[in-house]
Structure 1
Amino acid sequence: MSGSQQATESDRYAGRRVKRVEDARLLTGRGTFVDDVVRPGMLHVNFVRSPVARARITGIDISEALALDGVHAVLTAADINPHVHEQWFSLEGRHAPDTPRPPLAEGEVRHVGDPVAMIIAQDRYIAEDAAELVIVDYDQLPPVVDYATAFDSSELVHEAYPGNLVGQIGGRPMADLAPTFDSAPHVVSETYHQQAYCAMPMETRGIVTEWSPSDGTMTIWTATQSPHEVRGFCARLLAIPEHSVRVVMRDTGGGFGQKVLPLREDMCMMIAATKVPAPLKWIEDRQEHLLAAGQARHEHGEARMAFDDDGRILAATIDHVQDAGAYPSPNPVGSGIAVGLIFPGPYRIPEGTFNSRFAFSNTSGRVAYRGPWQFESVARECLLDVAARQIGIDPVELRRKNMLRRDELPTANCNGMPYSDITPLETFEQALEILDYDAFRREQEQARAAGRYIGVGTCTYVEPTAGASALYGTEGATIRVEPSGKVNVYVAGGSCGNSLETTVIQLTADALGVDIADVSSIQGDTAVTPFGGGTGGSRSGPMTAGAVNQTATELRGRILALAAHLLGGVPVDEVEFTRGVASVKGSPEKQVTLAEIAETAYFKSGSLPAELSVGLEVSGRFRAQHLMLWANATHVCTCEVDIVTGEVKLLRYIVSEDCGPMINPNVVEGQIFGGTVQGIGGALYEELAYDDAGNPVTTTFMDYLLPTAAEVPTIELGHVETPSIGPGGYKGVGEGGAIGAPPAVINAVADALAPFGVRISRLPLTPSTIIDLLEEAAQRGAAGAAGAARTAVAG
């Protein structure tokens, strides 16, 4: 291997099932999470939260709470909110439209769980006791609970937003497509309603803030996906220089989008730290998490498709409405536009358009969650199954007629989204082959004859990953060869279960040509790591690959130049360098190790020619030249439905994924498994539900149900690898499982219940929901039979 060549396939670590370097620490209980952080003299915070969905605050009496032994301070909006300077997110940029986001409720509370005051006490127990002693006078107001009717409500969540409209965005007018729909042989429409549910990471939110008044610096330990976002946000919030803020993120027990951005309690902690002479810690408990950490997925939309006589799609539209809650972070319009833009999915659709509206409501604010645009796949894929039944064609055959083929790429969908490097038809066929679709259909016939109702459902989607947005379009890396010859790679971090430590080490070992055991990764500390966007938007693999490759290329050049000198002044292109050893091509006995090269670079620089660089540390920055990298997958689910109890039992679950070459198959598969289970939970179990007064009714795990190992079948995987135009050909994989699972499960249930005429339009599919659907179908059937009888009599 010449000095200018990268490692051969047999030498490469990328693509191999390298054991996660994090596991030794995490599985032996030696991880460091936010609650493990202890600072001298640290005080603890608890929030007083609104018990009502909407009310004017007419008075707050904190005297009894202040008198409680161990309470150091009780702060209200008057103490906190005036100290806000700027509060925009790097993710969106300074000039992006934003929504109200006061740290503490001021004048009016807008959802149950809205923070009204913060208690600072000796420990959390005292702080919780003190919260019970804070007396808040509320003048209750009618809440806007149902986002679907919020636009027509006379009540306003925020006075500055008439009609409770956060924003609206769309494509060409729906009326433009009326001629196509009017003349089409088949038109299918359905309005799908998706319930609110959320990320539910194992580790709730948490933050420690420590202000140093002597030099005006802030140190923050936090559970976050983006340490540099937190740093910049805090600097803007407090109007202090960025270098005065240090954010440390060690281990984070899951984020899934919810922990990308600082939320209101984080703002309170940053400001309050400047007002008390001690570090502050706040660890959210699970009930707080269910009350105030944010919601996602709550939306509905009317999806329509027109087909010709052969079942080919002529046009598709979606009229979409999304719940933003009271205080969304970020503004939902940005991610919500993707619902309409990607609604055509991986299908050949000549004409299409969309409209998306976003409504405020007196519920917990919307936050990002693994594939925030996921509703487009729910609406499209479920409608395709309805269309197949209406037209009288197998849903698999309907998809085959319309799915994009590899030889049609690159192309753009009818909304202008440019597709390239995707394989929807290939993943579709692979997943069906793994299942043996024809055999399942034969089994289904036999089962129905025996009184058992089994079904199969699919979902094929395309997903934008690693988008070049304001925060996400660039990533940095610093690589240092230490004097010992060991290698440290510094990246921004944000790893919270996605194995970023392991993949960065694999990539660095390959790019430099060193042994993986000699590489370590330093992440999550803004004092020493280069700026980066963190984890989100399925970007970690492609973007860190770009940053590492760009940085390592320059550093490898320095290593080879020094090695050539130490090997007797041979030409650089005669140097072979692999596994940390340099040798002369054709003369392997002439060798010099990386440790020897580093020793010379650092300690014997006087012996080197002037043209050679000394030191072995390089910083580089990768800039994405592409709008986005496209990944795709097909999910196939089979299930059995008990028509007496309404129970859904998943039988088999198959995912065929194309996320490009896999840096580490173990990591890729783990991401698919986790996302798929979350999607199954959203289809069958999870719901953040509210009553008519805006009271949340699922505030514990007795009410908010999650899938367990007992409910989830073994997930079978297939891989199709199509390189992207990005670094290494890699694509993102973090969000896909959560996108593809709900439609596949819904379609499987609908297929199982097809003999009864059940038509699914609302989630989740709990046992009681399924019994209701069966009863409604029976009533429709009885009404239809009665109508037919009346017609016969009249005839």
Structure 2
Amino acid sequence: MSAEEAPARRYAGTRVPRVEDARLLTGRGTYVDDVVRPGMLHACFVRSPLARARIEGVDASEALALEGVHAVFTAEDLNPTAREQWYTLIGKDVPDTPRPPLAEDEVRFVGDPVALVIADDRYIAEDAAELVVVEYEPLPPVVDYATGRESGDLVHEGFPNNIACELAGLPVEDLPVFDEAAFTARETIYQQAYAAVPIETRGLVAEWSPSTGEMTIWAATQSPHEVRLFCARLLGLDEHRVRVVMRDTGGGFGQKVLPLREEICVMLASVKVPGPLKWIEDRRENLLAAGQARHEHADARIAFDADGMILATAIDYVQDVGAYPTPAPMNTCAVVGILFPGPYRIPQGTFATTGVFSNTVGRTAYRGPWQFESVAREVLLDIAAREMGRDPAELRRKNLLRRDEFPCTNHSGMPYSDVTPLETFEQALEMLDYDAFRREQERARAEGRYLGVGTSTYIEPTTDSLSLHATEGATIRIEPSGKVNVYVSGGSSGNSIETTVVQLTADALGVDIEDVNTIQGDTAVTPFGGGTGGSRSGSMNAGAVEATASILRERIAAIAADRLGVSAEDVETVGGHARVRGKPETGLPLSEIASIAYFQPESLPPGVPPGLEASGRYRAQSPVIWANATHLCTCEVDLTTGAVKLLRYIVSEDCGPMINPTVVEGQIAGGVVQGIGGALYEHLAYDEDGNPVSTTFMDYLLPTSTEVPVIEYGHIETPGPGPGGYKGVGEGGAIGAPPAVVNAVADALAPLGVKITRLPLTPESLVTLVREAKARQEAAG
């Protein structure tokens, strides 16, 4: 059996039950708050009550006098001890924005950490935090990012006009097509701030050993090796002196990819206290200070010819980056502009993007950080269709790229390949029976009921070979018993990467899945990897497992061939046995081959090393691996109450061959529910003084099972480049859902002349839109 010849797949593509469910569903998971260390201390932050103020002084004397309090650290204590503060994911030389561990001189949003209290337990730490007296001189905050560029106040000195980043292409004025086209749709579309809201909030246990100069960190993270590298740089330690352990992580969605300011403070403080230090964020802190996402707007345009063919697109995009964005915001700003053409046949266009500071919580990564390109494009397409008197589905059908048109390049210079936009679109319409729904809609309108249908089609970048996390490693050890352990970097935070890796390894080695175990999330034993983010886990781990398994397959074949007196090319591995092709009764169990490899090295064939353990690394074989999907939603809107009831939700997805269809559909479902929440419920709102008004689940509304319909799935499988043809699927649901829901609601209200350009679609906002539309109709006679 050659190294390139993998055994036939038995498990990939099947609905293998998740291996992690046994412990998670019985309450035997290990989260950061479950970690208890001898002599452990607890941390609590003193946070700013003001959106912007000068810090005049901090008096911690009363807090320090409280029994059980060990220390109160301020910026003067912690910040100077930080060495390097850059992220491996981004790189050392990428321009970044300010990010002090504790607030220096000024606080810049409500919740800004000013001091860190260390005590025997969390209760004492919280009591002590209330005793810390901070004198503030209030300053006028920049609350509305949309007007931040015109404000005379600055969030950060050194950033004129509060501009964090900007990038512009060809000026729209230099594209005469928008003036000459038969029709140009143009709207300014707004999306509100909302947040990742993982079930498990952020948390960290940092244990410093002065005698050995070693740091051990238990972290709720999506990328344990990123945390390790960051901590080593932050504290000026050699990497091998830092160990990061990630057990179970209750959701991340981008919020837990990189260490944020609180985690940085805990790392810095841990070397100054007499025991391990734990910080667990409570829910109010998470909604107050863990980051915002999605707060943005854009002036978007699409030009059409008389037949409805798209001639050009342009977007002028503005993003709220808050006070302390993590990571640097340029990447997502640029990607919104680059991907705005989406999966459509568009010959020309341009974009401009700007990130603006505000005195609100900093922007963080969140499932599909560039998602607004789909919101703006898909909502504007529906508006254009109605204004041209065309059905939105027919307008898309004219312009969506087909499978046979790839590879191609969009007008921003982004190369597309291996996707099926028109095909997923048609599948979604067929699953609904679009024509039948339109007939039902007409009957309902005649009865005074308002039904709507909306679609959203997008193309998304998943794995790429351009970032600093462009490779992934795996180590596989076939034990002397013949059982298999596979080590990968980890980052499993609900994305089932444990199950996925076990499936892939069982197939790659031709062994029974019950004989495979995976070890993840411990930087002391696992190979370096980028973790979970950017929809990279499936394809990158598939590549790493295959690169490593091919080494072991070659050894297994050589040993078996030598014992059986055949050529290595005649050996195949099936069901944990190395057998002679065509002679299933002739072969050796893997346990016997392992015994030879470990305990009889003198009998190994020439050139075959002892043992059955190997490590390998994989680099993505394409600059970008693309996935695509169409989301379709139907709804009913109550004109009196503004309530939106979702009736059906359909997703037609092309993420390539599915390693585990149940896992794929679970990832889609999770993203869809988050997207529905963003369209209808969630809003991380601030008042005009910069005070957050939604820091509890009484105010920050999340969708529940009663609001979300059964999600229906359609799959089209176009292999991508790389082993197995696997693509990413983790972010798509959150990208496609908001515009599909918005378009469904807008379609329901179209007879009234309602135009929707601002999210979220709360009952109050919809009632207002209906009232205004009716007033316009009455005024028009």
Q: Where on the TM-score scale, by shorter chain, does this alignment land: which range?
A: over 0.9
1:5 aligns with 2:2: no
Partner of 2:32: 34
Contact 2:3 2:551 in 1 (8 A): no
Partner of 2:286: 289
Which residue identity lines up with residue 540 of structure 2 in the other structure? Answer: M
Query: For 1:758, which of 754, 758, 761 is the aligned residue?
Result: 754
Contact 1:3 1:574 in 2 (8 A): no
Query: For 2:138, which of 137, 140, 144 is the aligned residue?
Result: 140
Partner of 2:628: 632
In structure 2, the CA distance between the partners of 1:602 and 1:265, relative to structure 1 (3 Å rule), is: same
2: CA distance, partners of 1:3 / 1:324: 49
1: CA distance, partners of 2:640 / 2:750: 16
Partner of 2:510: 513
Which residue identity lines up with residue 573 of structure 1 in the other structure? Answer: E
Partner of 1:617: 613
Which residue identity lines up with residue 12 of structure 1 in the other structure? Answer: R
Partner of 2:482: 485
Partner of 2:691: 695
Contact 2:655 2:728 in 1 (8 A): yes
2: CA distance, partners of 1:203 / 1:343: 33
Partner of 1:595: 591
2: CA distance, partners of 1:4 / 1:189: 53
1: CA distance, partners of 2:574 / 2:41: 52
How many angstroms does 1:2 deviate by?
8.3
Which residue identity lines up with residue 725 of structure 2 in the other structure? Answer: G
2: CA distance, partners of 1:755 / 1:248: 57
2: CA distance, partners of 1:100 / 1:586: 66
Describe the SS at the equivalent of 1:132: helix
Partner of 2:181: 184
Query: For 1:96, which of 70, 94, 97 is the aligned residue?
Result: 94
Partner of 1:711: 707
Partner of 2:348: 351
How do 1:394-405 residues align onto structure 2 when only pairs under 5 Å count? 394-405=391-402
1:443 aligns with 2:440: yes
Partner of 1:545: 542
Partner of 2:573: 577
How many angstroms does 1:779 deviate by?
2.7
Identify which range, 764-773 or 602-611, moves more after superposition.
602-611
Contact 2:6 2:550 in 1 (8 A): no
2: CA distance, partners of 1:29 / 1:541: 26
Query: For 1:500, which of 497, 502, 509 is the aligned residue?
Result: 497
1:730 aligns with 2:726: yes
Query: For 2:662, which of 660, 666, 673 is the aligned residue?
Result: 666
2: CA distance, partners of 1:340 / 1:470: 19
Contact 2:222 2:492 in 1 (8 A): yes
How do 1:246-257 residues align onto structure 2 when only pairs under 5 Å count? 246-257=243-254
Describe the SS at the equivalent of 2:197: coil
Gaps of 5+ in 1: 786-795
Describe the SS at the equivalent of 2:131: coil
Gaps of 5+ in 2: none
Count matched residues. Answer: 781
Partner of 1:115: 113
2: CA distance, partners of 1:328 / 1:164: 13
Describe the SS at the equivalent of 1:373: coil
How many angstroms does 1:3 deviate by?
8.2
Query: For 2:373, which of 367, 376, 382 is the aligned residue?
Result: 376
Identify which range, 610-619 or 392-401, moves more after superposition.
610-619
How many angstroms does 1:4 deviate by?
6.2
Describe the SS at the equivalent of 1:774: helix
1:47 aligns with 2:59: no
2: CA distance, partners of 1:170 / 1:258: 28
How many angstroms does 1:371 deviate by?
0.3
Contact 2:223 2:258 in 1 (8 A): yes
2: CA distance, partners of 1:347 / 1:572: 50
Partner of 1:298: 295
1: CA distance, partners of 2:592 / 2:335: 53
How many angstroms does 1:538 deviate by?
0.4
Contact 1:680 1:742 in 2 (8 A): yes
Deviations 1:8-48 (A, max 9, x none): 3xx52100100100000100111000000000000000000
Deviations 1:224-268 (A, max 9, x none): 000000000000101110111000000000000110000000110
Query: For 1:222, which of 215, 219, 222 is the aligned residue?
Result: 219
Partner of 2:169: 171
Which residue identity lines up with residue 347 of structure 1 in the other structure? Answer: Y
Identify which range, 609-618 or 473-482, moves more after superposition.
609-618
Describe the SS at the equivalent of 2:44: strand
How many angstroms does 1:149 deviate by?
0.5
Partner of 1:779: 775
1:677 aligns with 2:643: no
How many angstroms does 1:173 deviate by?
2.1
Which residue identity lines up with residue 41 of structure 2 in the other structure? Answer: L
Contact 1:3 1:572 in 2 (8 A): no
Describe the SS at the equivalent of 2:386: helix
2: CA distance, partners of 1:758 / 1:584: 70
2: CA distance, partners of 1:643 / 1:351: 40
How many angstroms does 1:61 deviate by?
0.4
Which residue identity lines up with residue 47 of structure 2 in the other structure? Answer: R
1: CA distance, partners of 2:319 / 2:555: 53
How many angstroms does 1:389 deviate by?
0.6
How many angstroms does 1:588 deviate by?
3.1
Which residue identity lines up with residue 129 of structure 2 in the other structure? Answer: A
How many angstroms does 1:570 deviate by?
1.9
1: CA distance, partners of 2:93 / 2:621: 22
Contact 2:7 2:572 in 1 (8 A): no
How many angstroms does 1:407 deviate by?
1.6
Contact 1:661 1:723 in 2 (8 A): yes
How many angstroms does 1:564 deviate by?
1.3
1: CA distance, partners of 2:722 / 2:602: 41
Partner of 1:789: none
How do 1:391-430 residues align onto structure 2 when only pairs under 5 Å count? 391-430=388-427
Describe the SS at the equivalent of 2:284: helix
Contact 2:558 2:605 in 1 (8 A): no
1:243 aligns with 2:249: no
Partner of 1:792: none
2: CA distance, partners of 1:652 / 1:449: 21
How many angstroms does 1:565 deviate by?
1.7
How many angstroms does 1:612 deviate by?
2.0
Contact 1:53 1:693 in 2 (8 A): yes
2: CA distance, partners of 1:588 / 1:513: 14
Contact 1:297 1:375 in 2 (8 A): yes
1: CA distance, partners of 2:772 / 2:168: 35
2: CA distance, partners of 1:429 / 1:586: 45
Which residue identity lines up with residue 600 of structure 1 in the other structure? Answer: I
2: CA distance, partners of 1:483 / 1:783: 84
Deviations 1:192-211 (A, max 9, x none): 01000011110000000000
How many angstroms does 1:335 deviate by?
1.7
Partner of 1:566: 563
1:312 aligns with 2:312: no
2: CA distance, partners of 1:720 / 1:610: 47
Kindly, what percent of the aligned residue pairs are identical? 71
Deviations 1:601-656 (A, max 9, x none): 11111233442221111110101231110100000000000000000000000000
Partner of 1:269: 266
How many angstroms does 1:445 deviate by?
0.5
Contact 2:2 2:554 in 1 (8 A): no
Which residue identity lines up with residue 731 of structure 1 in the other structure? Answer: K
Identify which range, 678-687 or 754-763, moves more after superposition.
754-763
How many angstroms does 1:66 deviate by?
0.2
In structure 2, the CA distance between the partners of 1:4 and 1:469, relative to structure 1 (3 Å rule), is: closer
Contact 1:90 1:470 in 2 (8 A): no
Which residue identity lines up with residue 778 of structure 1 in the other structure? Answer: K
Describe the SS at the equivalent of 1:426: helix
2: CA distance, partners of 1:107 / 1:2: 65
Partner of 1:791: none
Contact 2:621 2:721 in 1 (8 A): no
Query: For 1:749, which of 745, 749, 753 is the aligned residue?
Result: 745
Which residue identity lines up with residue 143 of structure 1 in the other structure? Answer: P
